[in-house]
Amino acid sequence: MLIKLLAKGRTGAVVMPSFTYRGLPHFARWAGQVPRFCDVDPVSHTLDPTALEACIDSDTTLVLLVCSFSGPGPLEVLCNIGERHNVPTIIDSVDGIACTYGGRMLGGHGRAEVYSLHATKVVNGFEGGYITTNDGALADLLRWQRNFSLSGWRPITIGANDYVLGLNAKLNEMHAAMALASLQGLGATILRNRARYDTYRDGIVRIEGLTLLPYLESETESRNYQMAVIEVCDDWLLSRDSLLAVLNAEGAAARPHYSPALHQSGCDLTATSAVHLPVTERLAKRLIRLPVGELATTEDVTAIAKLLKFISVNQGEIRARLGASITNGH
Ligand SMILES: Cc1ncc(COP(=O)(O)O)c(C=O)c1O
């Protein structure tokens, strides 16, 4: 909805990361736009400012920033780039819920920020989502649009001849009630996330070649500790995919983190020929998301950390037993 409104009837490119949630290029296509993938910073995993600058041209209708699990990245720098080019910037802040930037809670950056209430998220409304913005006229338009753009409800900020394609996108009462209940427990949820993350950290810290990625600027900023992502270094005898296969075979529901990258997924929905995004491509081969969430107990987390230690100590033998079919890449 937001992409459609901000594109103002133009068809063009939405600049977005390829190292992100696989639904995002579909959203751009739904809104009649074409995704244009941009490389990310190797540490923050958010759009790289230099790469973003190079991606924007006269065809660009929108910049879509995405908060990483570890923090929002250099938001001000990134938003300024769009502003300088007169291109609206919106932020997928789904993973930035309850996080701060410059000491202030996210929610008021760019033209608008978008959040999810899916049951897997830190604030759970079963399904649904919400948009935050400091732009009153845009908020009016969105409220109108989500309620069929009924003619009697036309906001005074929009001219009589302006037309916005409406739909039924209201958050229903059940989802809203669930989200409010979940919101009340937000602080406690984050404390439990933190406890799980710390347990992983204590178990993984002594495993050579595996790094539990940190929550950036966590000394000064609030973070939600919702994910535990590890990086497998080049020295490991087992590839990332072999390690994943062993974890899964042992019952640990670990998953690759944003892999394959969207521009290499075979369904990237762009109109352009293949792009090369070196940082994205490297990250997409190295990271694993460990089991988290309310169903992962402290015992589970401790057992997974021990399993990682066991795999690390015995990786030569495991590699030999797995055979060449699974030890790709190394
Ligand atoms: C970064 C990100 N953006 C957007 C979404 C989509 O949210 P929803 O499922 O509420 O449409 C997700 C869902 O996992 C996500 O992780």
Q: Given a cut of 60, is residue 252 above it in pLDDT?
A: yes
Mean pLDDT of all residues in 155-161: 82
Q: Whose alpha carbon is nearest atom 11 of ligand 1?
A: 116
Mean pLDDT of all residues in 26-38: 95
CA of 221 to the centre of ligand 1 (A): 23
Q: Whose alpha carbon is nearest atom 8 of ligand 1?
A: 116
Closest ligand 1 atom to 127 CA? 10
Could you read off the pLDDT of 48-73 as tens digits, one per residue? 999 999 999 999 999 999 999 999 99
129 lines ligand 1 (CB under 6 A): yes
94 lines ligand 1 (CB under 6 A): yes
171 lines ligand 1 (CB under 6 A): no
Q: Residue 262's Cα: distance from chain center in Å? A: 13
DSSP structure class, residue 40: B
Edge-first strand order for the sheet with 287-290 is 210-212, 228-232, 287-290, 255-256
pTM, two decimals, is: 0.95
Q: Given a cut of 90, is residue 156 above it in pLDDT?
A: no
In order of 125, 130, 139, the CA distances from 7 in angstroms are 29, 19, 16
**How crowded is the C-beta side of 252, counted as CA atoms within 13 Å?**
26
Helices (H), 41-95: 49-55, 75-84
Residues contacting residue 69 through CB under 8 Å, at least 6 positions apart: 45, 95, 226, 227, 229
Q: Given a cut of 60, is residue 27 above it in pLDDT?
A: yes
The reported pLDDT for the residue numbered 274 is 75
95 lines ligand 1 (CB under 6 A): yes
How many helices (H) and strands (E) the chain has is answered by 11, 12
Cα(187)–Cα(164) distance, rounded to whole angstroms? 38
The reported pLDDT for the residue numbered 259 is 97
Q: Given a cut of 90, is residue 269 above it in pLDDT?
A: no
The reported pLDDT for the residue numbered 161 is 73
Q: Given a cut of 90, is residue 330 above it in pLDDT?
A: no
Q: Given a cut of 60, is residue 329 above it in pLDDT?
A: no
